[in-house]
Amino acid sequence: MIDETVEEISEMQTHSSSVVAVKAAQALRDLTDREYPTVEDYLRSLDRNSSALRRANPSHASLHTTQHRIVNAVSDAEPEDVATAKELTTEAIDDVIDSVESSKDRAAARAVSEIADDDVLLTHDFSSTVLAAIDDAIEAGHSFEVYVTESRPRFLGRKMTRHLSKRDGVDVTLIVDSAAGHFMSQVDRVLVGMDCIVDDTLYNRIGTYPIATAAADNDVPVTVVGAAAKYVDGAFAFENEIRSPSEVLREPAEGFEVANPAYDATPTHLLDTVVTDDGIHEY
């Protein structure tokens, strides 16, 4: 399962960073079914496999922090035998999954106060936390019109559109990324998720920065929603992922280069609010 999860993360088969963190944590359960002669062998295997999962996407802050949390919880306890190490691993995995899921749920619930009934929203990419926030707002009796960008080249927005189209109370329109500025004058609020915020910079799926810029020019507030754990300090160095040119162009590029960065950087001064499980941060 670990190798399959590494491949899934690397190929971006799972898009939401919180879902990635949970799947990576669950993958480490495989180690508790294997035999190890000593505690040292088990700890080395745990560290090696966790490193492989982290390397599958070096830009995911939540993936890195949750994996370090699991490994440190086991190694810092200095287990006396392999059985104890396995029990500690299971406990740490359960704690991480509960923390990620509960943080997402609390952030989503808090975001409901930021999106008014009958708002016209614009969202980008696929964010399970944004989806949960809209679901919570619908349960509160709100209804929305939502524009969703395709989020090329992986077309992650199409997945978001399909999910939203099944919700009562949501009138959803899929648009190409370059049309965000065209529709911005009709939008009441931009609502997006986040990969992480480091210092004064939001890192999120490529295309977030031009959307935030267009929103600022149209006086449309931008709200970001995500877990507080995605606010990271200098201990995490964001590393953008440059993905395969084949995602952009199927045929070989002859006489030119193809650039395909996965994320862009948005200055936080372009944001209105960042909603997390621990509060609403205004900019």
Catalytic residues: 195
Q: Which of 117, 160, 113 lies closest to 15, judged by CA? A: 160
Distance between CA atoms of 35 and 15, rounded to whole angstroms?
Answer: 33
Phi then psi for residue 37, to 5 deg, are -70, -30
Residues 6+ apart with CB under 8 A from 109: 133, 136
Residues 6 or more apart in contact with residue 217 via CB below 8 angstroms: 184
Cα dihedral angle (132, 149, 230, 24), rounded to 10 degrees?
80
Q: Considering only CA atoms, which of 43, 42, 64 is closest in space to residue 55? A: 64
Task: Dig out the tokens for 240 from the structure.
Answer: 């953008």
